[in-house]
Amino acid sequence: MTELLDVLDEVGLLADRQAAYDAVFTREKTRSTGIGSGIAIPHGKCTAVKELVMALGVTKEPIEFQSVDDKPVTIVILLVSPLDQTGPHIQALAQISRLMLDEKFKSALEQAPSAEAAYKLLSEREAE
C-alpha cells in the first residue's frame, strides 16, 4: 500500500502523504480490506485530498493481506477520499467490487503488460 500512496503523492494528488497513510492504515487495523479472490481494496478518508483518488497495483507475486478467504492478493486498489464525501467513497467501493467479480476482466487486468494497459482496461470498462 505504501507504494500506491507514493504514486499518488508523486503525481501531486496528496496534500499530506502522512495523513493519507494514517487514514488507510487506521482503517486497515479495524478489519482487513482483503475482500477475497486475490483482491484488496484498502481505503481511507482524510483531509489529504479534495476529491476521491485511486491507485491500482498488480503484483507479480501474490502478497499476504490477511484477506477474508485467507488467500494472498495480486490486485490492490487504493482509495483515498475527503472526509465529507461519503457517497462517492461508498459508490467507488461498490463499483470496484462489482467489477472485480468479472473473472475475465480480473484476469485481463492481472495480465496487463503495463500501467497504461491496465488504465486502458479500466477506462474502457467504465465507459461501457
- Strand-pair category, 39-40 with 53-63: unpaired
Q: Which residues are catalytic?
A: 43
Cα 42 to Cα 28: distance, rounded to the nearest angstrom: 7
User: Are the CB atoms for 3 and 57 separated by under 8 Å?
Assistant: yes
H or E segment and range at residue 39: strand 39-40
Helices 2-10 and 17-30 pack at an angle, to 10 degrees, of: 150
**C-alpha grid cell for residue 48?**
489529504
Cα 108 to Cα 121: distance, rounded to the nearest angstrom: 8
Local structure of residue 40 (DSSP, 8 states):
E
